[in-house]
Structure 1
Amino acid sequence: TSYLNVVPPEGVPLALWLEGQRMASLTVPAVALERERRALRVERDEVTWRQVTELGRARLIALALQGPIRHGHTLLNEVGTITASEVRAFHQSFYGPARAVLTVVGDFEPNAVVAAAKRYLDPIARPTAARGTSRQPPPQTTRRSSSLVHRGAHRGGLAYGWAIPGREAPDHAALEIAGALLAGGRASAVHRQLVVTKGKALQVTARSEQLSGIDVLGVSVELPRGIAPHDVAAAIEHHARRLGQRGPEPAALRSAQRQLLTRRLAELSDMPTRTHRLAECELVDGSAEQLVPRLARYDQATAEDVRRAAARYLVPQRSTVVESFAVSIPATPGAKAKKSKAKKSKAKKSKAKKSKAKKSKAKKSKAKKSTKPKGKRPARRPTKTGGSSKR
């Protein structure tokens, strides 16, 4: 869990004092607890669970890890049953300086920040609960699959992924490069086949969750109408198998390395993201100094490293597939009657408008005829100019 505060340099001591007060004691009024429950439900529902791609990705992670990370719907159900006493007990057991990492990024005086942290955080009692151990998923020997039905969605999707070693593992960088080669952009193999050549996909992306211990490398495919998810899964398997057999081309490898390194550096240029990444490395990996060597692994990975990692981990028996189907919502009888009534009313208005235009046209034609002169004008006698006349 991360808490982020953006303050001016002179406001750092005040922010540390507020954090110390929050760690030392916590009051949970019933009104505040219900407000937080409602806010969490709305945020998760609007931002994540109504999006086909994100819901498929969440189900993919839950299936691939089988326990280390619980599914989002399970968490939402638990939020609805948590009591204020349970929140206070969790706070007293786990929420304290001994289990936290303080990260400060930006323009500040280091000695002043350290002094303020000791002054406001050291007096707080240390929680006694032992740190939990990471849960490992059961061994996977066959493909795991699931399907989702999205009522009212316009398009379907496919989430295809593999369980891979965590971000601290030596093969993790090579597997990220393999993901970029498969579906990391317009030049990737799956994008060229499904989007450019066959037109069976609208968009193809690849990403890893950057988890420690065990991670998930996933490929997400956004499908147009009329294309079933199983129609594109074979293309992902084909290119993953081919990458494990032949390895990447030198130019493609270099492009994928630059792409990943550029993305990670762009993330770190954002101050909140850099703060979170440094704290994450310190808390999970034991030292924030691991961040720079991890970035260097992208350039150090060779074509053979990528081929070997793909052949070992990107195989069908370690894969997880989530198919998302879009189903249109049928109109209710009342809605159909309303639509038919509106259609008739529109046709009636259109008919009246045409009749009015026809009458107006006839009226104009009649007025035009009445202004025409009756009979023929007498011919005008010619006028002679010049010459001579006789008397």
Structure 2
Amino acid sequence: MRMRQLPALLAGLGLSMSAFAASSDKWDLPVHVKKLDNGMTVVVSEDHSSPTVGVSVVYHVGMRLEPKNRTGFAHLFEHLMFQGTPNAPKGVFDKTITGGGGRNNGSTRPDFTNYIETAPVSSLEPILWLEADRMKTLDFNEKTLKNQQDVVKEEIRVNVKNQPYGGFMWIDISQHAFQKWENNHDGYGSFQDLEGASLDDVRAFHRDYYGPNNAVLAISGDVTPDQGFALAQKYFGGIAARPTPKSGDFSEPLNKAEKRVEQTDALAQVPAIAAAWKIPERGSRDQAPMAVLAELLAGGDASRLYQGLVKGREIALNVDSLFGLVDPWTYDGPTLLTVFALYKPTSNADAVLTAIDEEVAKIAKDGADEATLKRVKTRMLADWNNSLESFINRADTLAKLQTLWGDANVVNKIPGWIEGVTSEDLKRVAATYLVKNNRTVIDRKPVAKEAAPAPASAAAAGAKN
């Protein structure tokens, strides 16, 4: 009875469900930013819905800036950051955080390295002390370096060398799509380069790139801005700024000729293809349209490519997309949009590429209808908001955006950028970037399996017959 009366009640109040949704879907995160005297930027996002906090420390250094002939060094260094300091020996960092009910992690990307924690608010000060302590110095010793070199090499064996397809859709594709070493080398690293890393390399990297003036600290959760800034000053304010090397020019124009590569894979069961295009630079007016276009093309089962290649033509087994190792908003140098698909052995790479080109051509000509565009945007906005629910992800996103954009409040601008994308924007971006001349393709095929030899007894029986 009461439910039946709801539409009449809403109509009587002059409300519509669409208007209600429009007003309630808007979510502005509180963002407060302060720079300490030593150059460290602090971001605080207050939220008292849970007595917990998320912490992220992001350093503006990643795979692009690692030394030449030291591929994989930025990732190796990330591992070393967890191996202790003179004040907090190995194991203290993890025991302190997990003992206080928290968890922690870290990752290395082309343009940043991030260290994240979440815990009850009572553990905030110990976390900040630990982060400041390893910003000051590490326990530099040969035993630890050798141990982590072996750990990283084993990680490569597990995640790349002994995996079907071996990350070819982000490692190999970049090597062929980009011209500059900073953009095209393997960020996981070669075993030779990893083994060649010395303690002097480690000390220099920490000195040059891990100073407070090259870092952003973000705190999200049950803390006020005044509290967060005071704690940042207490634990990080006394760390002196250190000179940071100037980064080079990593920019690259769009490619002018398609590149095709064939590979074999001894572990794969079916063939796979990766097609990648260079995308707009960060801050370009085409960045948001490219993000929406990627979602329209390969964002889930309703996407154009899934419906066109998997369901319609039935030549692919799946379709996915990726923006290198990051997302559409957290890169600061040349980056690729890569479409990755496993395809049926009865098909071939040319058929898959032709199908992709046909779907892209439809968008370049006709764009997307209003209902489809609304569906795609709604999914993107839901994913964006959901990603910010947890304090650890919220802090990490704010720290990354402050590092790369110089503006943590981009977190509140991205939804508007998505909403502002038009069908005409999609037509322009598809016709500009997703073209054959700007494309790099890797066709990765299983190694043909040789038939097993017949058992000796069976062969003998056959001979008697």
TM-score bucket of the superposed structures, by smaller chain: 0.7 to 0.9
Whether the 8 Å contact between 1:56 and 1:148 is mirrored in structure 2 is no
Partner of 2:170: 57
Alpha-carbon distance between aligned partners in 1 of 2:433 and 2:223, rounded to the nearest angstrom? 45
Q: 383, 393, 414: which is aligned to 1:263? A: 383
Alpha-carbon distance between aligned partners in 1 of 2:258 and 2:135, rounded to the nearest angstrom? 44
Whether the 8 Å contact between 1:158 and 1:324 is mirrored in structure 2 is yes
Partner of 2:274: 159
Q: 407, 432, 435: which is aligned to 1:315? A: 435
Change (3 A) 1:343 1:81: farther
Deviation of 1:130 (Å): 3.0
- Does residue 186 of structure 1 match 2:298? no
Partner of 1:204: 319
DSSP-derived class of the 2:217 partner: coil
Change (3 A) 1:90 1:119: same
Moved more, 125-134 or 311-320: 125-134
Whether the 8 Å contact between 1:13 and 1:113 is mirrored in structure 2 is no
Alpha-carbon distance between aligned partners in 1 of 2:373 and 2:450, rounded to the nearest angstrom? 48
DSSP-derived class of the 1:288 partner: coil
Q: Deviations over 1:330-367 (max 9, x none)?
A: 478xxx58xx37989xx9xxxxxxxxxxxxxxxxxxxx
Whether the 8 Å contact between 1:147 and 1:324 is mirrored in structure 2 is yes
Higher strand share: 2
Partner of 1:172: 287
Q: Deviations over 1:205-228 (max 9, x none)?
A: 233343234332221111233433
Alpha-carbon distance between aligned partners in 1 of 2:137 and 2:172, rounded to the nearest angstrom? 37
DSSP-derived class of the 2:139 partner: coil
Deviation of 1:261 (Å): 1.9
Q: 119, 135, 140: which is aligned to 1:23? A: 135
Q: 260, 285, 295: which is aligned to 1:145? A: 260
Q: In the alignment, residue 151 of structure 2 is paired with which amino acid?
A: A
Whether the 8 Å contact between 1:153 and 1:328 is mirrored in structure 2 is no
Partner of 2:215: 100
Q: In the alignment, residue 18 of structure 1 is paired with which amino acid?
A: L
Structure 2: runs of 5+ lacking an equivalent: 1-112
Alpha-carbon distance between aligned partners in 2 of 1:246 and 1:134, rounded to the nearest angstrom? 37
DSSP-derived class of the 1:105 partner: strand
Moved more, 184-193 or 149-158: 184-193
DSSP-derived class of the 2:293 partner: helix
Alpha-carbon distance between aligned partners in 1 of 2:438 and 2:379, rounded to the nearest angstrom? 26
- Does residue 231 of structure 1 match 2:346? no
Alpha-carbon distance between aligned partners in 1 of 2:252 and 2:419, rounded to the nearest angstrom? 31
DSSP-derived class of the 1:3 partner: strand
DSSP-derived class of the 1:306 partner: helix
Deviation of 1:81 (Å): 1.3
Alpha-carbon distance between aligned partners in 1 of 2:223 and 2:267, rounded to the nearest angstrom? 51
Change (3 A) 1:228 1:84: same
Partner of 2:29: none
Whether the 8 Å contact between 2:258 and 2:440 is mirrored in structure 1 is yes
Partner of 1:385: none
Alpha-carbon distance between aligned partners in 2 of 1:299 and 1:139, rounded to the nearest angstrom? 27
Change (3 A) 1:237 1:128: same
Partner of 1:251: 371
Whether the 8 Å contact between 1:60 and 1:159 is mirrored in structure 2 is yes
Alpha-carbon distance between aligned partners in 1 of 2:349 and 2:437, rounded to the nearest angstrom? 19
Change (3 A) 1:181 1:6: closer
Q: Deviations over 1:71-126 (max 9, x none)?
A: 33672342221111110111112211111000112223443332232122122232
Partner of 2:409: 289
Whether the 8 Å contact between 1:176 and 1:217 is mirrored in structure 2 is no
Deviation of 1:328 (Å): 4.3
Change (3 A) 1:198 1:102: same
Alpha-carbon distance between aligned partners in 1 of 2:202 and 2:318, rounded to the nearest angstrom? 42
DSSP-derived class of the 2:196 partner: coil
% identical equivalent positions:
25
Aligned length: 340
Whether the 8 Å contact between 2:177 and 2:259 is mirrored in structure 1 is yes
Alpha-carbon distance between aligned partners in 1 of 2:190 and 2:435, rounded to the nearest angstrom? 33
Partner of 1:279: 399
Q: 183, 205, 208: which is aligned to 1:90? A: 205
Deviation of 1:321 (Å): 1.0
Change (3 A) 1:135 1:274: same
Partner of 1:358: none
Partner of 1:350: none
Change (3 A) 1:138 1:306: closer
Partner of 2:150: 38
Structure 1: runs of 5+ lacking an equivalent: 348-391
Higher helix share: 1
Q: Deviations over 1:281-304 (max 9, x none)?
A: 101100100121122111111111
* TM-score, scaled to structure 2: 0.67
Whether the 8 Å contact between 2:156 and 2:188 is mirrored in structure 1 is no
